[in-house]
Amino acid sequence: MAYEVLFGIVLTFGAGMLAQWVAWRLRLPAIAFLFAIGFLFGPVLGLLHPSEALGHAFRPLVAMLVALIVFEGGMALDIRQLREAGQGVARLTMVALPINWVLGALAAHYVAHLEWGTSFLFGAIIVVTGPTVILPLLRSAKLHPRVAAFLRWEAIVNDPLGAILAAVVMQIMLLHVDLHKQLFFEHTLPDMLAAGALSVAAGILPAYLMRYLFTRDLMPELLKVPVMVTLALIVFESCTIVMEGAGLIAVTVFGMTLTNLHIPGLNELRRTKESLVILMVSVLFILLTADLHRAALARLSIPILLLTLVVLFIVRPLGIFLSTLRTTMSWQERLFVGWIAPRGIVAAAVAGAAGIKLSEAGYASADLVMPAVFAVIAVTMICHGFSLGPLARRLQLTLSNEPALVILGGSAWSTDLAACLHNENVPVLVVDTTMQDLMAAARQGVPVLKTELLSAAGQESLEERPADYLIATTGDAIYNGMVCGHLAPHMGRERVFQVSPGAARLDLYRGLSRDARGKVFGEPGWSYSFFDTLYSRDWRFSCHTVTEETIERFEKEENRIDLLIVRRGTGIFIRSAEDQVRAMPVVGDLVVSMVSPGGQEQEEEEEKEPPEEK
C-alpha cells in the first residue's frame, strides 16, 4: 500500500512537470495537458485513485492546496491596477456575479431539468472562473494589462465569493428554509454575515503582523516564506471552521493586503511562491481529474451536454454583456471577457462536497451536480484555454505577436541599433531615465520610454509594452547588471544581456556574479567603449535577410560583426560568449550586424547588382 501511494505521488509530480514543460515549449495552455493526463491516469487506465489511496486526508489536502493557490492569487491584486480597469472590475465582481448566478440556475432548471434548489447550487458554482486556470493562461498570453486585470480580478475575487454563495445555497437547502424561515433569518443569516466580516479582519491583521516583523528585522529571510504559508493555512482553517467558504475570503484578503502594504523584499518571496503554486496547480489538476469515477462520467447525458453549451454560448456572454453596459470597456474587451471563463479546482472541489451532502439529504438531482460541473470545467478548459491566445490576437488585445527587444540606454550606437530593427518592423523599445537621450530615437519613430526600470513604476510601464528580451547598453556596468538581475526572474535569465563590464569582471569566481548581471552581449572584450569607438569610426548597424547564398558568410566576414538573429514569430537569438550552444541562422532569418564603412559600400554595390549577376 505504501509503495502504491509513493508510486502515485512520483507519477503525479513527474507527469505534472512534464506537462508544464511541454506546454511551455509548444506555447499551449498547460491546463489542457494536465487535465488530459489526469483523465488518462484515472478513469481510463486506473493508475491513480487519489481518494482511495489517501482516504479521509484527500479532501482536506485539496482544500489546503487550493487555499495556498488563492492566497498567491490575492498577492497579484495590486490596487494600483484599478486606476484603469476599476469600473470594469467592479462590474465583473459585483454585478456580473449575481446575473450569471441567476442565468446559470435558469439554464440548469429548464435545460437539464434539475430541481430549483440544485439548479441554484449549480449556478453558484459556475460563477467561479478560477484563478488556478486563469493565472497560468495570463502568464503566457501577453495580453494588454487592462484586459489581463479584468480577468485576474474577476477570477480571484469571484473565487471565494462563489464558494460562499454555494455554501449559503447549500445551507438553505439543508435547512429547508421554507419550513424553518425563522431559524434562518434569526440565526443562520446573521452568523453568515458575521463570518464574512470575521474573514476580512482575519486576512488584514496577519498582513500587518508580517509587515511589523519583516520591517523590524524580527524575521530571518530563511523563515519568511514558511511563516507566510503557515499563517495563510492557519487563517484559512480558522475561518473555514466558522463557515464553509469564509477561509477563501480570508486568504484572498491576506494576500491582497500584503501586496498593497509594499513590504520591502516581498517580490522575491512572491517569486518563490509562484514556483510552488505552479507545482501545486499541476498536482491538483491531475489528482482531481484522476479521482473522477466512471459512474459519475456515465451520468453525463444529452441534457447536461446541452446545459454546458448554454453556459458557454448564452449564460456567460449574456451576463457579461448586461453587467458591462455603459462602462469604459470596448466591445472587443467585452466580447473577449464574455467568452473567456474557464472553471477550475474550486468549482470541482465545491461540486464534489456539495453533491454528496445534498444526496444524503434526499435531493433527487444532487447526483447530477458533479457531472454537470465536470462537463463545464472540461469544455471551458479546452475551448477557452486554446482559444484565448488566437482570439486575443484577432481582437488586437495582445501586446505583440512578434518577439520584442528592449534596449536600455539611448546612446548614439544603441539608437542606431534600435532604428535598424524598427525599420525592419521588429518590435523594439528604447528605455532611458532622461528624455534628452531618447530624443534621437524618438525622431526616427522608434518607441521610447522614459523611466527607471529599477522602480515599481518602471516595471509596470514595461509590462504595458512588448518586452521579451533586454540588452542593457549604458556606460555603467554595475547599473546594467542591476537592471538585468532585477528583470531576469520576469523575462528569463537567458533573455537579459548587457554590454561587457570588462573581461576581468566576467571571471566566474572573482568577477561579477552571474546572478547579479546579465549575459554578456557579444564577446568579453566588447564593452560600451568598444561599440562607442566603432560607431565614432562610422561603423553602423545593418539588417539583411539570410538567403542560401549568404548563409555561409555568417560570422566569417572581417568587416562585419554579426550580433542578432531575428526569427519571425519564434524568438531573437542574441550573440553571447556565454552561450552553451551558438545559434545559427536559417534561410529567411533576419541577421543584425555592425558593419564597417567598407562593408557598407560593399552592401550598396551588391544591392545595385542585377539579380542575374549575383
Nine cell digits for residue 311: 453556459
Is 605 a member of any domain? yes
DSSP type of residue 576: B
pLDDT tens digits for range 380-414: 888 888 888 889 988 988 877 788 999 999 999 99
Considering the domain architecture, whether residues 418 and 316 belong to the same structural domain is answered as no
pLDDT tens digits for range 418-449: 999 999 999 999 999 999 999 999 999 999 99
Residue 614: pLDDT over 50 = no
Report the pLDDT value the prediction gives residue 366, as an integer from 0 to 100.
78
Considering the domain architecture, whether residues 387 and 461 belong to the same structural domain is answered as no
Considering the domain architecture, whether residues 39 and 165 belong to the same structural domain is answered as yes
Apex 23 CA angle, 22 and 26, nearest 5: 85
Among the residue ranges 90-104, 340-354, 382-396, 482-496, the one predicted with the least confidence is 340-354
Among the residue ranges 266-280, 529-543, 549-563, the one predicted with the least confidence is 266-280
Task: Output the CA–CA distances (angstroms, integers) from residue 127 to 9, 80, 154, 409, 558, in the order listed.
Answer: 31, 25, 10, 47, 64
Give mean pLDDT, residues 292-308: 80
CA dist., res. 213 & res. 251, Å (int): 19
Laid out side by side, the sheet with 496-499 consists of: 448-450, 428-432, 405-408, 469-472, 496-499, 519-521
Is 580 a member of any domain? yes
* Strand pairing category for 590-595 and 560-567: antiparallel
Give mean pLDDT, residues 479-507: 88
Considering the domain architecture, whether residues 433 and 557 belong to the same structural domain is answered as yes
The band of 609, judged by pLDDT with boundaries at 50, 70 and 90, is low
DSSP type of residue 387: H
* Domain end marker among 347, 362, 394: 394
Q: Indicate the SS3 state at residue 344.
A: coil
Nine cell digits for residue 342: 474557464
Q: Which residue has cell 431559524?
A: 183
Considering the domain architecture, whether residues 475 and 557 belong to the same structural domain is answered as yes
Contact 264, 215 (CB under 8 A): yes
DSSP type of residue 91: I
Report the pLDDT value the prediction gives residue 362, as an integer from 0 to 100.
74
Is 512 a member of any domain? yes
Task: Output the CA–CA distances (angstroms, integers) from residue 558 to 58, 562, 579, in the order listed.
Answer: 66, 10, 22
* CATH label of the domain that carries residue 591: 3.40.50.720
Is 519 a member of any domain? yes
Considering the domain architecture, whether residues 153 and 60 belong to the same structural domain is answered as yes
* Domain end marker among 353, 375, 394: 394
Q: How many domains does the chain have?
A: 2
The band of 197, judged by pLDDT with boundaries at 50, 70 and 90, is confident
Considering the domain architecture, whether residues 418 and 338 belong to the same structural domain is answered as no
Is 7 a member of any domain? yes
CA dist., res. 409 & res. 531, Å (int): 13
Max avg pLDDT among 165-169, 214-218, 354-358 = 214-218
The band of 552, judged by pLDDT with boundaries at 50, 70 and 90, is confident
Report the pLDDT value the prediction gives residue 185, as an integer from 0 to 100.
61
Residue 346: pLDDT over 80 = no
* Domain end marker among 394, 423, 455: 394
Give mean pLDDT, residues 111-134: 84
Considering the domain architecture, whether residues 390 and 410 belong to the same structural domain is answered as no
The band of 470, judged by pLDDT with boundaries at 50, 70 and 90, is very high
Beta strands in 130-258 (DSSP E): none
Higher pLDDT, 121 or 348: 121
Higher pLDDT, 14 or 35: 14
Considering the domain architecture, whether residues 417 and 335 belong to the same structural domain is answered as no
Is 399 a member of any domain? no
Is 400 a member of any domain? no
Is 67 a member of any domain? yes
Identify the domain containing residue 137 by its residue range.
Answer: 2-394
**Considering Cα of 130, then 136, then 141, then 142, what sign does the dihedral take?**
positive
pLDDT tens digits for range 518-539: 999 999 989 999 999 999 999 9
Residue 199 identity (one-letter amino acid): S
Considering the domain architecture, whether residues 349 and 474 belong to the same structural domain is answered as no
Report the pLDDT value the prediction gives residue 511, as an integer from 0 to 100.
74
Considering the domain architecture, whether residues 421 and 369 belong to the same structural domain is answered as no
Considering the domain architecture, whether residues 327 and 263 belong to the same structural domain is answered as yes
* CATH label of the domain that carries residue 170: 1.20.1530.20
pLDDT tens digits for range 65-97: 888 888 887 887 777 766 655 667 778 878 888
Q: Indicate the SS3 state at residue 324.
A: coil
